[in-house]
Structure 1
Amino acid sequence: MTSSEVARPAGGAARAITRTLSDDPLGGTVRRTVLPSGLRVLTEAIPAMRSVSFGIWVAVGSRDETGPQAGAAHFLEHLLFKGTNKRSALEISSEIEAVGGETNAFTTKEYTCYYARVLDEDLPLAIDVMCDLVADSVLAAPDVETERGVILEEIAMHDDEPGDEVHDLFARAVYGDHPLGRLISGTEETVTPMTRRQIQSFYRRRYTAPQIVIAAAGNLDHAAVVKLVRQALRGTPLDTDPAAPAAHRPATPAVRTRPAANLVEPKETEQAHVILGCPGIDRTDERRFALGVLNNVLGGGMSSRLFQEIREQRGLAYSVYSYASQYADSGLFAVYAGCAPGKVDEVLDLTRAELQRVAATGITEGELARGKGMSKGSFVLGLEDTGSRMSRLAKGELLYGNLMPVDELLARVDAVTLDDVNGLAADLLARPMSLAVVGPFDESAFAAR
């Protein structure tokens, strides 16, 4: 690792600190600059590309809301595109689209991201527009009312998608009233009374320079990106006094999960949607590489045990898979299946039997090799575009406080042993399982299971 300092203009006491994090043979040169305000800028230069993905990541998500604020982070994400002191909503979208670019945003439980993808020659425009909307949105009262209606429609649309709804129901089964168990969008009951003042307060208290990571990947020059970011933020609320970057969200104390529960959302659907699972591990747990292998073996692809048993051999479901979600201090492991209502019992019995079998006897050497190959291949193939590389930079900085080189990550997967996976399986899959079901069932249909 090498480092160098980039001084502010004459007369300024604070200095921006720039470091070269890696010169990855599987990617480009990664550099990181910490501005005096505590805002961080990371770039990966990939000269072979003709595009750049630029993202502004804020370490604020739905878990940072109080109960009455539920949905504020997502509401704010919508509102920042509605206009700034320099641009109207139409100008924000038209300036990017006029050069063939695209821009969007998303909110998760632990962070929010605003991003654009443009031709390399249009990166200065993207930086100016995106920094403007994140740093200096006006949150006009009429726009609050307009977006309130849009978000309520989004919530209603989500309620009409049982395949999505069941995942939220499962989170509530595991986490209960904890913020990790709540809807990212909030509910009609929390969004309807939310005021502009509440959203404005959330915006200015949470969107501070030390909480923000800016990441870009593609055909770019790091020093030029830093200069453009500083110009775009000059005079905005993010152009603040010197401060240290915020530490990444701590892993302790661990989130308290509720006892295993069965939750049913009665709905007249042609297909039942079921999730069976348990609390998992947090994202810094050293066993996360073994978990990736275990997940691949159980339900990570068409060759997985659950897919072969439930779909290929018995034809009980079209979609069946397992997945792991990881947070700073907790996680989930679950199996999803969509099947005819009359087949739910058989699908659940087969799923439980397979999980118990793997917990008791583990996986085979052949499955270990296949699971490791899937993990490595999917990771490397996922780095084939600038958007995924930009996301990797930001998540490494925001969620872990460091960027693990590609070769090191692949080596960590290679180092997973059969004992690692089987030990994790014996622990994880023996935990009490919660069940979430959306379909044509009574609320008490699964109470005794």
Structure 2
Amino acid sequence: MRAIRPLNNLSKRFYAAAKPNEALTEAYAGHKSPAVSLPAPQNVQVSKLPNGLVIASLENYAPLSSVGVFVKAGSRYETAENQGAAHVLRLAANMTTKGVSAFKLCRGIEALGASLSATLSRETMVYTAECFRDDLDNILEYLVNVTTAQEFRPWEVNDLTARVNVDKARAGQSRQIGIIEKLHEAAYKNALSNSLLCPDFMVGKVSPQQLHSFVEDHFTTSRMAVVGLGVNHSDLKELGERFLSVRGGSGAPLAKASYRGGEVRVQNKSDMVHAMVVSEGAVAGSAEANSYVVLQRILGAGPHVKRGAGIGSKLSQGVAKATKHLFEVSAFNAFYSDSGLFGVYSVSQANTTGDVIRAAIAEVGAVAHGAVTADDVARAKTQAKADYLMSIESSSGLMAEMGAQALSVGTYQAPEIILQAIEAVTQDDVVKAARKFVDGKKTMAASGHLINTPFVDEL
């Protein structure tokens, strides 16, 4: 039988090539195409309700629908008394609510073939539901319960302790995550210094009362946005008016992040040292932020080739001249609603860390003194625009972009506007951004065998 299958495949290919002169693009005479009119593509629609809730949707006529509830309730909103509340709240997304038990929530979502997830950043908490279009009404019932009718039963909250420890253990295995957390701890006095993970002294000690208080303070209509893909805008608007308007008002005041600069050093026996050196960068959504995006691509935002080392970037080339040992180096860039961080991230052997860090900073300094060409800027802008377009190709990426804009400015800017803003960045803008890093107060975080790692005041 194995010998017969290849012969069958060959016969099909020979049959297809039997009449090479016959046009294969002509329609079969006996076939009549059904008169199906495809719906016209729609643009993103945004509405703001009188209570401050923002509704954004895109009807893409996909068989799958996605709805996300974005809340300004990230870890930056924690206080000294309730640190870790945001982490525990994210894990509590599948617990019993006032309208549905944890068992029904789990089995009901499974029966629909749907998914319900919660993600956390320093700025936002996001609840996302995905399902078949026909099951949208059912999944929205669960989504409303999870976001507006939390109950936080004490025994269920206690059971979350094990999951908190699992999250912390997984994060501990990633030295990159650990060094980024330490960097924020050193860079800010408050707000953005809060970790995404529950601190050790609060594990098992975040109470149901603290969770209720956190939700009441931050899950208010003026701090929320509802984003939908593959849904009708009027239906999503009705959902917001009927179910998500139970908590009005502005909620707790925003604690403005205060950048201070500083240093955190984690000494261990690892031969590979992870180090980050940054200065305060740009605020998200500003024109200056686009300059940092382009500067990051000029210096090197990581390899663009699978398993590559990004050797074509300025940082890699500059560091390669200073040391012949193994290293990885790239530019780091993070934006927030009231601050930002920009700098260099390196991974190198312990005995060469000092040379690698100094060489990387020197490359940024060279750009600050004008060592950048028009071709460098043009290439970096092309990379930045391509990265942005690829980031919104997926449903999750597009939803994240729509939600971020809806929360920050209450509107949505089409990709064409974002691309124009990136294209408007000039060579002088890039030089100014690099000079701001060079002249700014530095923050440093390092982890490993730090025998040859300079202190921040030595750079």
TM-score for the superposition, normalised by structure 1: 0.83
Identity of aligned residues (%): 22
Aligned length: 411
Q: Aligned partners of 1:124, 1:312: CA distance in 2, in Å?
A: 61
Task: Confirm or deny that 1:331 pairs with 2:344.
Answer: no
Q: Aligned partners of 2:193, 2:73: CA distance in 1, in Å?
A: 16
Is the 2:191–2:256 Cα contact (8 Å) retained in structure 1? no
- 2:259: which partner in 1? 257
**Structure 2 CA distance for partners of 1:312 and 1:374, relative to 1, 3 Å:** farther
1:316 CA displacement: 4.0
Q: Aligned partners of 2:423, 2:259: CA distance in 1, in Å?
A: 32
1:297 CA displacement: 0.5
1:263 CA displacement: 1.9
Q: Aligned partners of 1:248, 1:194: CA distance in 2, in Å?
A: 19
Is the 2:350–2:453 Cα contact (8 Å) retained in structure 1? no
Q: Aligned partners of 2:328, 2:106: CA distance in 1, in Å?
A: 37
Q: Aligned partners of 2:280, 2:88: CA distance in 1, in Å?
A: 28
**Structure 2 CA distance for partners of 1:104 and 1:428, relative to 1, 3 Å:** same
The aligned amino acid for 1:434 is: T
Task: Confirm or deny that 1:360 pairs with 2:361.
Answer: no
Q: Secondary structure at the residue paired with 1:339? A: strand
Q: Aligned partners of 1:314, 1:345: CA distance in 2, in Å?
A: 10
Task: Confirm or deny that 1:437 pairs with 2:446.
Answer: yes
**Structure 2 CA distance for partners of 1:32 and 1:265, relative to 1, 3 Å:** same
**Structure 2 CA distance for partners of 1:366 and 1:444, relative to 1, 3 Å:** closer
- 1:240: which partner in 2? 246
1:86 CA displacement: 2.8
- 1:55: which partner in 2? 68
* 1:136 equivalent among 141, 149, 154: 149
- 2:237: which partner in 1? 226
Is the 2:88–2:164 Cα contact (8 Å) retained in structure 1? yes
Q: Aligned partners of 2:185, 2:295: CA distance in 1, in Å?
A: 24
- 2:182: which partner in 1? 169
Q: Aligned partners of 1:313, 1:220: CA distance in 2, in Å?
A: 55
Task: Confirm or deny that 1:30 pairs with 2:36.
Answer: no
- 1:274: which partner in 2? 275
Structure 2, unaligned runs of 5 or more: 1-40, 303-309
1:318 CA displacement: 5.3
Which stretch of structure 1 is more off in the superposition, 187-196 or 136-145? 187-196
Cα RMSD, aligned residues only: 2.8
Q: Secondary structure at the residue paired with 1:29? A: coil
The aligned amino acid for 1:433 is: K
Task: Confirm or deny that 1:347 pairs with 2:356.
Answer: yes
The aligned amino acid for 2:431 is: N
1:264 CA displacement: 0.7
**Structure 2 CA distance for partners of 1:443 and 1:81, relative to 1, 3 Å:** farther
Q: Aligned partners of 1:331, 1:447: CA distance in 2, in Å?
A: 19
Q: Secondary structure at the residue paired with 1:168? A: helix
Q: Secondary structure at the residue paired with 2:112? A: coil
Q: Aligned partners of 1:395, 1:249: CA distance in 2, in Å?
A: 19
Task: Confirm or deny that 1:288 pairs with 2:278.
Answer: no
Is the 1:273–1:338 Cα contact (8 Å) retained in structure 2? yes
Is the 2:278–2:342 Cα contact (8 Å) retained in structure 1? yes
The aligned amino acid for 2:121 is: T
For residues 122-142 of structure 1, the C-alpha deviation after alignment (integer angstroms, 9 at most, x for no partner) is 322322211111111211101
Is the 2:218–2:252 Cα contact (8 Å) retained in structure 1? no
**Structure 2 CA distance for partners of 1:148 and 1:311, relative to 1, 3 Å:** farther
Q: Aligned partners of 2:144, 2:246: CA distance in 1, in Å?
A: 14
Is the 2:88–2:206 Cα contact (8 Å) retained in structure 1? no
For residues 71-95 of structure 1, the C-alpha deviation after alignment (integer angstroms, 9 at most, x for no partner) is 1122112123212123232432333
The aligned amino acid for 1:145 is: N
Which stretch of structure 1 is more off in the superposition, 349-358 or 36-45? 36-45
- 1:398: which partner in 2? 407
Task: Confirm or deny that 1:214 pairs with 2:220.
Answer: no
Which stretch of structure 1 is more off in the superposition, 315-324 or 161-170? 315-324
- 1:110: which partner in 2? 123
1:299 CA displacement: 1.9
For residues 215-245 of structure 1, the C-alpha deviation after alignment (integer angstroms, 9 at most, x for no partner) is 011x3221223334555x2xxxx4438x57x
- 1:16: which partner in 2? none
- 1:187: which partner in 2? 199
Q: Aligned partners of 1:327, 1:163: CA distance in 2, in Å?
A: 19
Q: Secondary structure at the residue paired with 1:292? A: helix
Structure 1, unaligned runs of 5 or more: 1-26
Is the 1:57–1:394 Cα contact (8 Å) retained in structure 2? yes
Task: Confirm or deny that 1:79 pairs with 2:92.
Answer: yes
Is the 1:51–1:120 Cα contact (8 Å) retained in structure 2? yes
Q: Aligned partners of 2:425, 2:362: CA distance in 1, in Å?
A: 25
For residues 160-190 of structure 1, the C-alpha deviation after alignment (integer angstroms, 9 at most, x for no partner) is 4322111111112211x41211212230113
Is the 2:217–2:251 Cα contact (8 Å) retained in structure 1? no
Q: Secondary structure at the residue paired with 1:335? A: strand
Q: Secondary structure at the residue paired with 2:131? A: strand
* 1:99 equivalent among 112, 117, 129: 112
- 1:8: which partner in 2? none
1:448 CA displacement: 5.9
1:368 CA displacement: 0.5
Q: Aligned partners of 1:168, 1:100: CA distance in 2, in Å?
A: 36
The aligned amino acid for 1:269 is: S
TM-score for the superposition, normalised by structure 2: 0.82
Q: Secondary structure at the residue paired with 1:69? A: coil
Which stretch of structure 1 is more off in the superposition, 152-161 or 336-345? 152-161
For residues 306-348 of structure 1, the C-alpha deviation after alignment (integer angstroms, 9 at most, x for no partner) is 1344469966445422121111221100211222222212211
* 1:196 equivalent among 208, 218, 228: 208
Richer in strand (by share): 1
**Structure 2 CA distance for partners of 1:28 and 1:323, relative to 1, 3 Å:** farther
For residues 11-48 of structure 1, the C-alpha deviation after alignment (integer angstroms, 9 at most, x for no partner) is xxxxxxxxxxxxxxxx742222334543222101112x
**Structure 2 CA distance for partners of 1:33 and 1:445, relative to 1, 3 Å:** closer
1:407 CA displacement: 1.2
Q: Secondary structure at the residue paired with 2:315? A: helix
Is the 2:444–2:456 Cα contact (8 Å) retained in structure 1? no
Is the 2:351–2:451 Cα contact (8 Å) retained in structure 1? no
Q: Aligned partners of 1:102, 1:404: CA distance in 2, in Å?
A: 28
